[in-house]
Amino acid sequence: MIQLYIPLGFLGVLYREIKQSLTDLDKMFVLLEKEREVADEPGARPLTLDGPPTLRFENVHFSYEPAREILHGVSFEIPAGKTVAVVGPSGSGKSTLARLLYRFYDVSNRDEGGRITVDGQDIAEVTQGSVREAIGIVPQDTVLFNDTIEYNILYGRPEAGHDAAVAAAEAAHIRSFIERLPQAWRTMVGERGLKLSGGEKQRVAIARTLLKNPPILIFDEATSALDSANERAIQAELRLVSKHKTALVIAHRLSTVVDAHEILVLDSGRIVERGRHADLVAQGGAYARMWALQQAGND
């Protein structure tokens, strides 16, 4: 009986392992598919940076498929160390801007001068690896690995060690949550472990980014509904994580963007309004209408 039990138990584990590795492979292929879209130019050099850089999108046109252009000439600048926020309806192209900055794809009109620069260097001309090295992403939905929460926080910089993980978790307001779990830092998370809420996952991503300490930040705000205490906490975390960084924030709640250096209102791949919060509200256009709606609690 015991002899039968052990192999069956083992098979169960094996099955889960195989299923998991297929899921991971699946994710990897999706990533590789994207990787294939861009290639380094022969002799490309790494990006050179000296502190948080100035980012510029210059007349950026982009299509995933030739027949359907998604961005129709987008230009804006994020001065060194500042935050620019992008708002707009679903499908307007907000995440596409972030994907282009991370160089999952290249700008479609490079021949006609469309480009994205980091301190004046065209990101299509430097190595893709060096661009990604310089960027920290806090995504909407963080992928957690089937490992401990400590591993997940240290992911990308395992040599930083336990004390650094604790400090980052403290700053991201997730330390006390972790330390109250029965297995604390050794708690298994991911698909086979403890399921974290959207907000908790976002905090793990914030802790990771604080550890990586990149000069450029992409913050893709979670769309999940938050109560106002949590909303304030996320705003405070965003301020913390974007300090001394050049940040592009994709926002769904306008309350997140009131402090931004500039807010871009994107609609069908075009910037239709731009400015600071108070100016846009005073202008009485699309942003002012979105603000009035969210203030009324209809977001």
Residues forming the site for ligand ATP (CB under 6 A): 64-65, 70, 88, 90-96
CB-based contact 204:269 (threshold 8 Å) = no
CB-based contact 287:273 (threshold 8 Å) = yes
- What does the CA dihedral 182, 158, 216, 138 come to, rounded to 10 degrees? -30
User: 284 in the Ramachandran plot: left (φ > 0), alpha (ψ -120 to 50) or beta?
Assistant: left
**C-beta closer to ligand ATP: residue 74 or 178:** 74
CB of 184 to ligand ATP, least distance (A): 35
Instruction: Give the length of the chain.
Output: 299
**C-beta closer to ligand ATP: residue 94 or 175:** 94
CB of 136 to ligand ATP, least distance (A): 19
Take residue 28 and report the two structure tokens written for it.
Answer: 């990897």
**C-beta closer to ligand ATP: residue 87 or 131:** 87
**C-beta closer to ligand ATP: residue 236 or 293:** 293
**C-beta closer to ligand ATP: residue 166 or 272:** 272
CA neighbours within 13 Å on the CB side: how many for 264? 23
In this structure, are strands 115-118 and 216-220 parallel, antiparallel, or unpaired?
A: unpaired
User: What are the backbone dihedrals phi and psi of residue 52, each rounded to the nearest 5 degrees, phi first?
Assistant: -60, 130
Q: Is the dihedral of CA 272, 277, 283, 285 positive or negative?
A: positive
CB of 291 to ligand ATP, least distance (A): 17
**C-beta closer to ligand ATP: residue 92 or 256:** 92
Take residue 241 and report the two structure tokens written for it.
Answer: 């994580």
CB of 64 to ligand ATP, least distance (A): 3
**C-beta closer to ligand ATP: residue 221 or 237:** 221
- The residue behind tokens 């698909």 is 191
CB of 265 to ligand ATP, least distance (A): 11
Residue 127 to residues 97, 131, 172, Cα–Cα distance (Å): 19, 7, 31
CB of 155 to ligand ATP, least distance (A): 24
CB of 248 to ligand ATP, least distance (A): 12
Burial class (CB in 10 A: 0-12, 13-18, 19+), 230: middle
